[in-house]
Chain A
Amino acid sequence: MKNKLFFNFLKSTNAVVGGIIIVLFILIALFAPFLAPKSPNAQSLQNVLMRPSLAHPLGTDEFGRSILSRIIFGARVSLNIALIASAVALGIGVPLGALAGYYGGALDSIVEGLVDITWAFPTILAALAIMFMLGPGLHSVMIAVGVVYWAGYARITRGQFIALREEEYVQAARAVGASNLRIIWRHLLPNSLAPLLVQLSLGMGQVILIEASLSFLGLGAQPPTPSWGSMLSSGRAYLLTAPWLTLIPGLAIMLVVLGFNLMGDGLRDALDPRLLHTKK
């Protein structure tokens, strides 16, 4: 089953392209200190807003910092945000979804109610309000986004559990006296992973976008943290005089989010081979 999934994934062009982008992105994040020509925070007020050139490969920003270095280190920040915020969302969503799906009844109604309430708020507004409560900064972004996105994971886990709990092998496990926890952990959860993985891949892209929007609304990373969202947001004032300040982080965000989306899409196709984009 898993091998087939992997095989199908490889057959999907979109997924492969997405996967390559994400692997590159992770490598850049991991090896940022070796790749970046300069420190991302080294200012040079004599060299502000320099056009891209040999000396400054992607130009410099309003403090004369190397945009290339900031983009490279920014990959680290973005990866961090995507991972931790998603972990928060998964950490809330999966257990709740699992409980609701496995036990049903009142517990299910409560979780469903919580999901409905969460979804009643437009995402960006909910994240914004939580950010205001916690104050600006990357940690707040991670928590706010995690809290906002948990419901999707809960829904998926619940759906999978409901579908799977009557399956033969689950019944069999129950018959031989396996504990509820063991059934959830050994049987239900592993078989719910695939759709969660799809959601995770799409969700990571969304997290990076939300960080950018929060920066735009004035609540992003603390300076001088090189987050792509805050680069994009503070660069927009120079759109007319130094457009590379916004173009470059914008393209970086677009590429990585595209990567996550293509990968998520490919994964979904791999789960449902009828929809595959395959090479003939």
Chain B
Amino acid sequence: MLPVLLAVTIIVFSIIHLIPGDPVRLALGEMSSQQAYDHMRAELGLDKPLYIQYFSFLWRLAHLNLGKSIIYREDVTKLLAAKLPNTLKLTGSALILSYALAIPLGILAAVKRNTIIDYLSMGIAIAGVSVPSFWLGFLLISLFAIHLHWFPIAGYGGIKYLVLPAVTLGFGGAAIVARMMRSSMLEVINKDYIVTAKAKGLRYWTVITKHALRNALIPIVTLLGLQVGWLIGGAVVIEIVFLRPGVGRLIVNSIYMRDFPVVQGVTLILAVTVILGNLLADILYAVIDPKVRY
């Protein structure tokens, strides 16, 4: 994990310095004085050679210091601490929503295999990954906020502000889960013990819920970890559409403003999260998979 993270820092550092643009000029404004400009560059160490800047970034990182934002003049950790909870709320509820939608759909599709219900539920699920999320977001806003007044348009606050963005983000995630649920369920249904249970005269739905579901859920659990990266990527666009002050909006603005320390710091944190998610998936799979089946 450490070599990967080190590579991540090098890549992010190189890319951001290859992007044309001058954060100091952007922070100060075009008409700012040369002396203020020079002063700020020196203060931030931006007048030093790139490799020195990189090593001082690593040095600070080793002390758990992500540096200071060039634009906002605030510690990156402080900025992150303010934004991360909002992103976690969004991605967390989107995750819950997508599973709540996808698992029943997947079961239904598997149980009613090759009926219109199967086609429809899989169709809905696939439609979820087939729309640009910002488009879906704006459509949901026009329908549920503008016309029906059920939810606020954008912003953040109570749970009512969370519904539309979470649905927009969760809808996309549901497809993958539903598809996985269906195939995993189909696999289990055809297993001997289910067939036996059915032959024993147990009621169909009892068999499905008591026996099949439990086993079919195993691969779904491992999907959780893998979806972390996907959710974070999705949050970038959703936070802009719904005006949520989260990490996604922060990082896009920071790229626009060439706020190197923020981009470096936030990408690193996101990369760690994604890698931990993958690790979690691996561990879960190893723990649950072979032994739980009977």
**B3:A113 contact, CB within 8 angstroms:** yes
Partner of B274, one of A120, A132, A236: A120
**Interface 9-mer from A26-34, A61-69, A186-194, A255-263:** A255-263
**Smallest beta-carbon distance B168→chain A, Å:** 13
**Smallest beta-carbon distance B226→chain A, Å:** 9
Known: A125-B233, A246-B138. A278 touches B132 (CB 8 A): no
Most chain A CB inside 10 Å of its own CB: which residue of B11, B18, B135, B234: B135
Q: Bound complex: CA of A115 vs CA of B15, how far in Å?
A: 18
Residues of B within 8 Å of A246, CB to CB, are 135, 138
**A120:B4 contact, CB within 8 angstroms:** yes
Residues of A within 8 Å of B233, CB to CB, are 122-125
Interface size on A, residues (CB 8 A): 47
Residues of A within 8 Å of B142, CB to CB, are 239-240, 243
Interface residues of B in 92-129 (CB under 8 A from A): 113-114, 118-119, 122-123, 126-127, 129
Interface status of B71 (Cβ within 8 A of chain A): no
Interface flags, A101-138, vs B, CB<8A=1, else 0: 00000000000010011011111110011101100000
Interface status of A196 (Cβ within 8 A of chain B): no
**A212:B135 contact, CB within 8 angstroms:** yes
Interface residues of A in 252-280 (CB under 8 A from B): 253-254, 257-258, 261-262, 265, 272, 274-280
**B127:A258 contact, CB within 8 angstroms:** yes
Known: A121-B271, A275-B186. A129 touches B236 (CB 8 A): no
**Smallest beta-carbon distance A273→chain B, Å:** 11
Residues of A within 8 Å of B256, CB to CB, are 218
Partner of A122, one of B132, B134, B179, B270: B270
Which partner residue on chain B sits nearest A120 by CB separation? Answer: B271
Interface status of B255 (Cβ within 8 A of chain A): yes
Interface residues of A in 205-225 (CB under 8 A from B): 205, 209, 212-213, 216-218
**B275:A120 contact, CB within 8 angstroms:** yes
**Smallest beta-carbon distance B206→chain A, Å:** 24
Known: A124-B236, A125-B270. A213 touches B133 (CB 8 A): yes
**Smallest beta-carbon distance A251→chain B, Å:** 9
**A125:B236 contact, CB within 8 angstroms:** yes
**B126:A119 contact, CB within 8 angstroms:** no
**Smallest beta-carbon distance B191→chain A, Å:** 12
Known: A125-B270, A133-B19, A212-B132. A258 touches B126 (CB 8 A): yes
Interface flags, B177-189, vs A, CB<8A=1, else 0: 0010011001100
**B127:A254 contact, CB within 8 angstroms:** yes
Partner of B8, one of A117, A130, A253, A258: A117
Q: Bound complex: CA of A236 vs CA of B134, how far in Å?
A: 10
Q: Bound complex: CA of A102 vs CA of B135, how far in Å?
A: 43
**B4:A116 contact, CB within 8 angstroms:** yes
Using a CB–CB cutoff of 8 Å, the interface residues on chain B facing chain A are 3-5, 7-8, 11-12, 15-16, 18-19, 113-114, 118-119, 122-123, 126-127, 129-135, 138-139, 142, 146, 175, 179, 182-183, 186-187, 190, 229-230, 232-234, 236-237, 240, 251-252, 255-256, 263, 267, 270-271, 274-275, 278
Q: Shortest 3 CB-CB distances between A and B: which pairs? A: A122-B233, A120-B271, A257-B130
